[in-house]
Amino acid sequence: MKNDFNKLWDKELKKDINYIIAKAEKELKFLTGKKVLFTGGCGFIGFYFYNVICFWNKKLKKKIDYTILDNTKKIPKWLNKKECKFIRQNINNVKVNFFDKYDVIIHGASIASPSFYRKYPINTMKANILGLWKILENLKKNKKKKILFFFSSSEVYGDPDKNNIPTAENFHGNVSFTGPRACYDESKRFGETLIINYSRLYKFKSIIVRPFNNYGPGMNLDDKRVLPDMMKNIIKNKNINIFSDGSPTRTFCYISDAIIGYLKALRLGINSEAYNIGSEGPEISIYSLSKETLKIAKKLIDYDKRIIFKKNTEKNYLIDNPNRRCPNMKKSEKYLNFKAKISLKEGLYKQLIYYLKFKK
């Protein structure tokens, strides 16, 4: 019997939203009545923030006043302008006083895919620094009590040695500052430095989060990161391509768990502190990840292709690529009461269903 992916996806999204609200009800109450701005809010993480906030707002008379700022060329189909305010503009072009009216500024405007930030290094650095600097200049002069919530990255750690796996927040990093990934890694590191110094000097609250391989529905199929790449091959009924020897390892944190972590960090995070948001396990090789994805695709759509190893046409594809990526989650567990629960198998199933629903 052919799967109805519309119904399957609607069921899984509803399950995810209910799961997030059950785990982060205090955090959503904390945001209720506040004016919240999400820069870069049309991206993957913004997709789930939007859905959670829309669902939450329908339950209450006093709502979260939510605004998305994004320079996207194409407004996502999921974004309903009746549910939130939307401003299509590049954050680098707004004026400092643009941020006056917001109580909480979630700064996520960035180019996050390695293939794209290697291709557009100047734009990547501008996105990570110039817009942030305007926000900080606003918070510097604004006496109103505000919160800045900054999406940094696990890339600030570079390629940790074996003694720093799992990687804790106090690891200073093993990062190339001249390599093809440096435009992203170093601008995120500098962004953290900017925030901490502004926040301490001008007495406003700032929270920094470092996502570790968040994944799930909402990721652009043309994103060029590993899971969208694999699932794009599946959607097109092609072999799954691996552009390495398959040995690098990662841990993956499903998006609904990650959203809970971010909301908890927003409410409970200590001023000027950084928190890993990810999963401690399982640490899985890219080859094993592809095998797991293949199994799920076979069950869902009778996918019968195989895994093949290829060399990527992008010259710098593997340069400075971390061999292992695994977070130490003790700090987030202690201060945020956060621990990822969704299994990799379940998360991959949900992500593939999302793509199968929206495939062209």
Summarised one tens digit per residue, pLDDT across range 15-38 is: 999 999 999 999 999 999 999 999
In this structure, the number of other CB atoms found within 10 A of the CB of residue 324 comes to 19
- Average pLDDT, whole number, for the chain? 94
Query: Residues 151-179: what's their mean pLDDT?
Result: 96
From 229, 247, 226, select the one nearest 238 (Cα to Cα): 229
Q: Which CATH class is domain 5-358?
A: alpha beta
Global confidence as pTM = 0.96
Asked if pLDDT for residue 231 goes beyond 70, the answer is yes
Summarised one tens digit per residue, pLDDT across range 310-329 is: 888 888 877 888 999 999 99
pLDDT confidence bin for 84, thresholds 50/70/90:
very high
pLDDT confidence bin for 358, thresholds 50/70/90:
confident
Asked if pLDDT for residue 2 goes beyond 70, the answer is no
Domain ranges of the chain: 5-358
pLDDT the model gives residue 234: 97
pLDDT the model gives residue 266: 98
Sign of CA dihedral 356, 346, 261, 60: positive
Summarised one tens digit per residue, pLDDT across range 275-305 is: 999 999 999 999 999 999 999 999 999 999 9
Q: Which two tokens stand for residue 67?
A: 């605004």
Summarised one tens digit per residue, pLDDT across range 94-107 is: 999 999 999 999 99
Separation between Cα atoms, residue 45 and residue 18, nearest integer Å: 17
Summarised one tens digit per residue, pLDDT across range 32-49 is: 999 999 999 999 999 999
Sign of CA dihedral 315, 320, 325, 329: negative
pLDDT confidence bin for 1, thresholds 50/70/90:
very low
Q: Which two tokens stand for residue 172?
A: 């200073």
Q: Which two tokens stand for residue 258?
A: 């990650």
Asked if pLDDT for residue 213 goes beyond 50, the answer is yes
pLDDT the model gives residue 360: 54
Which helix (H) or strand (E) segment holds residue 38: the answer is strand 35-39
Separation between Cα atoms, residue 195 and residue 171, nearest integer Å: 18
Alpha helices by DSSP H, the chain: 5-23, 25-31, 44-57, 114-119, 121-141, 182-202, 226-235, 255-268, 286-301, 330-336, 344-358
